[in-house]
Amino acid sequence: MDDLQLLSLIVLFAGLVTLALPLLARLVEFATARQSGDWLLLGMLLLFGSALLAALWAVWVASTQNWLLWPVAGFTLLFRLVSPPILLRVLSQRLGDPTGESTSSTTTLEQSVTGGAVVLGSFVLLAPWLEPSHGNAMAAAETGLATIVAVFSFSQFYLLLFMGRMREGQAHFAWVAGLLLGVGLIVLTPAYLPGFQAAFRTTSALGWFGAAALFHYGRQLHPPALLRQLRWNV
């Protein structure tokens, strides 16, 4: 097992276990109420064993039959396309309603965000033709931003589905699981797919260009009807 496979196994196993920790907490309560250590032992063996088997199977499939990863790759491409708009939408909401009173600092920040998104998309697209130091640095920065958005989006989706079933103080499990699975999805998946980098790079650039356009028009005094329907600034 090489370093990439070992890292993938650790990240995937830890992510699956973290996702199931609220279930483990319920199992502990169940076993405590019945004063039965057998139920607790059986549940832990089932949880950790299932997570380990699933992680081992996934790494084996990725290493020997990587064509099976293309559905995951398609999801990764989709996520890379929508991640920049998600990030800039959150920032636009933080800036407040654009129809209100605008200051020079707010206008400067809006223009900087739009320009920064365009520059970042351009660097991602042109990275193979830049000097390695510049291209690698920009690619790493863009990957880091995409991973942060992946963590945020996955965590919110997880909490939306399971918050009602989680105990108080367990919400941090969603953020840890989002971090691990976000790293696996954004960073590790492309490494297993030869030729994936071109599609990965193009989709990322389109995402940043689209996000810049949405942010620019969404911050106008009279934004397009589509952005109002999408509640871009709400």
Instruction: Please write the tens of the pLDDT for every residue from 7-30.
Output: 778 877 887 787 777 777 777 777
pLDDT band at 92 (very low <50, low <70, confident <90, very high): confident
CA distances in angstroms from 215 to 48, 82, 139, 225, listed in the order given: 44, 13, 22, 14
**What is the tens place of the pLDDT at every residue in 203-226?**
888 988 998 998 888 887 777 777
- According to the model, what pLDDT value does residue 180 have? 73
Q: Which residue has the tokens 């980098």?
A: 197
Percent of the chain with pLDDT over 70: 76
> Is the backbone of residue 110 left (phi > 0), alpha (psi -120 to 50) or beta?
alpha
Mean pLDDT of 97-108: 72
State the chain's mean pLDDT as an integer. Answer: 76
Q: Is the pLDDT of residue 122 over 60?
A: yes
168 secondary structure, DSSP code: T
What pLDDT is attached to residue 134?
57
Q: Are 199 and 180 in contact (CB under 8 A)?
A: no
Q: What's the CA angle centered on 149, arms 130 and 65, to 5 degrees?
A: 75
- Its sign, for the CA torsion 184, 182, 147, 84, is positive
Owner of token pair 């396309």: 81
Please give the structure tokens belonging to residue 192. 């297993």
Report the alpha-carbon distance of residue 209 to residue 200 in Å, rounded: 14
- Of 116 and 234, more confident: 116
Question: Is 193's pLDDT higher than 70?
Answer: yes
pTM to 2 decimal places: 0.70
Report d(CA 87, CA 174) in Å as an integer: 19
Would you call 100 helix, strand, or coil by DSSP?
A: coil
Task: Give residue 7's identity as a one-letter amino acid code.
Answer: L
Alpha-carbon dihedral sign for residues 221, 223, 225, 229: negative
- Which amino acid, 43? G
| pLDDT score of 156 more than 70 | no
| pLDDT score recorded for residue 69 | 75
Helix residue spans in the chain (DSSP H): 3-19, 21-33, 37-64, 70-95, 104-126, 132-162, 172-183, 196-218, 225-229
